[in-house]
Amino acid sequence: MERTLCGVTTVSMVMFLAMAVALAVLGYHYQENLGRSGVALPLERGPTHRKRRGRRRQRQALPLAGLRQRRVHPAPEHEPERGPVRKLLRSFVIVGGWVHRHLIPEDKSSLSQFSLIQDQLDAKLRTLVEEPPQDSEPGFIHKMKHMYRSCFNTSLIDSYAEEPLQKVLKVLGGWPVVEGPGWNASKFHWLDALIQYRNFGYSHDILLDLSVIPDFRNNTRYIIDLDQTSLGLPDRTYLLKGLNDSAVAAYLKLMTEAAQLLGADKKAAETELREALQFETTLANYSLPREERRNISRLYNKMPLYELKKL
């Protein structure tokens, strides 16, 4: 095996040297032919050449000036003809040209190739669900199209008002802030509420995240995964700032107004939901920040169920 590799390497080196010599010979003959044909190479550079060179240097300097002034300035669609600027901008041209050709829509905070592909996929899915149902389609396709159309029936939705949500809350054990003094805490258990959430198809990440996932160290088996719960705001850092943060204040206001729309007393709603926000802030304090969750191995603490009971 080693002899074979050595032989292949030797042959490759010989071929490379032969190609280099051939290119050198071709270049030499090309220069000689130019001299014989009477084509004179410019030895002196006149004013016209100097003007072109000055304009080219000015064009080359513009992208660099933009980079210095704006720090992150997309490169132009074209590259300079030659020189160090071309080498510098070569890494920017693809991204810069793409930025010039695409503007961020008003309803989005960012734009990328992935988001454009997602938009194309969403457009195709919308076309599919807006088509009339066909007899040959499976039942779940019919249900999906029916649900999609029902979302546009705003007059029917307005006529139901909060009634569907109130029915769901009753099944889940009631919302104490809405029920008021009539709410019976002895009949409520958070585990039963979690099961009901799952039956309704709602998010059931209450106090902790519970799911069944493939074991990433043995993907032929599945394990029960327990993780920290998700929070009402995008990141724990919002809650850690408290009500001094505008997003947290708006979050509390939204909860209070939603409770009032369902019939809760305003003062009681403000008091109880402020306590609920403080509890969620406590959960945020106990949760790990994103930067500490990048190492999956540190989050992997596999144990049998009987050991879980000892925690």
pLDDT single digits (tens) 47-74:
454 545 555 555 444 444 444 444 444 4
| Whole-prediction pTM | 0.58
Is 274 domain-assigned?
A: no
Specify the pLDDT at position 40: 44
Residues 115 and 131 in one domain: yes
Choose the final residue of a domain: 204, 233, 262.
204
Is 107 domain-assigned?
A: yes
User: Read out DSSP for 20-31?
Assistant: HHHHHHHHHHHH
Choose the final residue of a domain: 186, 204, 222.
204
Is 113 domain-assigned?
A: yes
Residues 144 and 98 in one domain: yes
Domain span at 151 = 94-156
Query: pLDDT tens digit string along 155-186?
Result: 999 999 899 999 999 888 899 999 998 888 88
HSE, CB side, 13 Å, CA atoms: give it for residue 164: 7
Cα(184)–Cα(176) distance, rounded to whole angstroms? 8
> For the chain, what is the domain count?
2
Is 168 domain-assigned?
A: yes
Is 193 domain-assigned?
A: yes
pLDDT by 10-residue block (mean), the chain, 311 residues: 56 63 60 50 48 51 44 45 54 60 82 90 93 92 92 92 90 91 87 88 85 91 92 91 92 96 94 95 92 88 88 77
Q: Closest Cα partner for 81 from 42, 55, 99?
A: 55
Specify the pLDDT at position 12: 64
Number of H helices, E strands in the chain: 14, 2
Specify the pLDDT at position 44: 45
Q: Closest Cα partner for 261 from 175, 197, 181?
A: 175
Is 148 domain-assigned?
A: yes
Residues 148 and 102 in one domain: yes
Is 132 domain-assigned?
A: yes
Residues 130 and 172 in one domain: no
Residues 107 and 128 in one domain: yes
Is 79 domain-assigned?
A: no
Cα(232)–Cα(254) distance, rounded to whole angstroms? 11
Q: Closest Cα partner for 61 from 94, 90, 92, 83?
A: 83
